[in-house]
Structure 1
Amino acid sequence: MEIESNYRNTCQKFWRDIKKSDPTEITAVRTVSYNSDTRQFIVLFFNEEYVVDSDQEIIRRRRDGYVPEVLATIIILNYLANARPFRGSDVNWVSIKELPGGMIFYSAFHKTVISVLIESFGHQSSRLMEVSHVLDGKPGPFGDASVILRAFPEIPLCVVIWEGDEEVNPNATILYDFSIGQILDTGISIDLGVYLAEELKKLAQGQFGKYIT
């Protein structure tokens, strides 16, 4: 309950920040559009368009009206509320430990991200590419299998799997572009990893018809 309350308070803060901002300032530094008639933003999140209505304080997926869970909501809101000029450059992949303040989140990251990916793909890394096409994943250059996805147009993520066998334990991670620190709070970057790991797990469960513990 305390976690849910913290999430609600975080959402409320981000909604307030968005309402205080000039929409043109947000669209100038984020790859989003704004409809001045409906007073709504359109945000691309993992290859899906979401309508962000700050008057009603609600987010809906454009194609079917689905309201995303609180974790996705917080990530999308932080992306808009934190809007400031972005200094883009070539992708510089880093681990969570290399993000500002990332070390303090590593234990939780291992439990909620790395462990989930290992359970889902650690012994069949080929599954990763098979399921990630739903999120418009592209092959990556790391590990036994890796895939690059776009959380937002400015935010690439790379999921990496090292497959295990009888002698070697499997491993996994999510790599971030170092520039994510210009766009999301570090804690929200962790939430983004948690969200992606869970989405990939759900896809793997659905495709392969069994529950992955």
Structure 2
Amino acid sequence: MNFEYAKDSKEQRPYEHYLNAYREMDPKEISGRTGIPYDEEKGLFTVKLMGSTYQVSFPDYEIHHVEDWAKVYPLEEAMNAKILIVRFLTERSAAPASGKFVTYHDVPWGEVYFRQFQGRCLFRLAFGYGNKLPVFRKIMEHLGAKKCSEGDCSYELEFMDNLYVKFILWEGDDEFQPSAQILFSDNFAVSFAAEDLAVVGDISINMMKALEKKLS
């Protein structure tokens, strides 16, 4: 599967930092702040990510998926996903969505990190699926995403509970290269920093690539 693992301290050290903080926290406080359900008797959080449900233990942070139709489970296997979620549990808070979507430029510090986001997410999405719209549709339908009207092909996906990402593609041809846009529900800016949103895009596209292999 096309998932990223911690190969050096660049990912391992942040992971250990947040993991240590997580283990020292009150799980009830985490649940109240993030809105993620916690079963005190079992010592488990129930986390939803890209349509799949995971049981996350406290304080060990052991992760196990609930078997479903997806057959691809990044939160179990991808270090960037593990860091994103443990960081959310330790530092972030849930916020309601207004129904509006914003570009990466619109979030605080988005302009500073845009070049990274463009390379890691927009270009990968455009050149990965801009000339393979039927494959993109199949993946999005498999994930239960909602079809939208923007661009030549677009879908809205619930990344986590009440946090939505919209993927928009414009098909390439002999004259123009394919292009893409990724929009975020406006509550993402409350729950995550700009650097985190690049990881959200990265996890999502890695999931698409893994599903493409599964569905082919």
Give the TM-score range, shorter chain.
Answer: 0.7 to 0.9
Give the residue type in structure 1 aligned to 2:88. Answer: Y
Counterpart in 2 of 1:44?
48
Q: Give the TM-score of the pair, scaled to structure 1.
A: 0.86
- Is 145-154 or 132-141 further displaced after alignment? 132-141
- Is 20-29 or 105-114 further displaced after alignment? 20-29
Q: Name which of 66, 70, 83 aligns with 1:74.
A: 83
Q: Give the TM-score of the pair, scaled to structure 2.
A: 0.85
Gaps of 5+ in 2: none
Identical counterparts, % of pairs: 20
- Quick one: structure 1 residues 134 and 78, their matched pair in 2 at CA, closer, same or farther if it must change by over 3 Å? farther
The alpha-carbon deviation at position 98 of structure 1 amounts to: 1.4
- Quick one: structure 1 residues 135 and 4, their matched pair in 2 at CA, closer, same or farther if it must change by over 3 Å? farther
Counterpart in 2 of 1:93?
101
1:157-211 per-position Cα deviation (integer Å, ceiling 9, x unaligned): 0011011111222101211122212112321221111111121123234434xxx
Counterpart in 1 of 2:67?
63
Q: CA RMSD in A?
A: 2.3
- Is 168-177 or 54-63 further displaced after alignment? 54-63
Give the residue type in structure 2 aligned to 1:36. Answer: E
Report matched runs for 1:151-162 at 5 Å. 151-162=159-170
SS at match of 2:77: coil
The alpha-carbon deviation at position 149 of structure 1 amounts to: 0.6
- Quick one: structure 1 residues 87 and 55, their matched pair in 2 at CA, closer, same or farther if it must change by over 3 Å? closer
Q: Name which of 99, 104, 116 aligns with 2:112.
A: 104
SS at match of 1:42: strand
The alpha-carbon deviation at position 3 of structure 1 amounts to: 7.0
Counterpart CA distance in 1 for 2:207 and 2:118 is 16
1:199 pairs with 2:207: yes
Give the residue type in structure 2 aligned to 1:75. Answer: L
1:120-142 per-position Cα deviation (integer Å, ceiling 9, x unaligned): 21113233221112322111231
1:22-52 per-position Cα deviation (integer Å, ceiling 9, x unaligned): 2222222334221212322110111111121
Counterpart in 1 of 2:18?
14
Counterpart in 2 of 1:23?
27
Report the number of matched residues. 206
Gaps of 5+ in 1: 209-213
1:61-114 per-position Cα deviation (integer Å, ceiling 9, x unaligned): 2339x6321011112212212243x44142221111211111222222222212
CA contact (8 A) 1:157 1:177 kept: yes
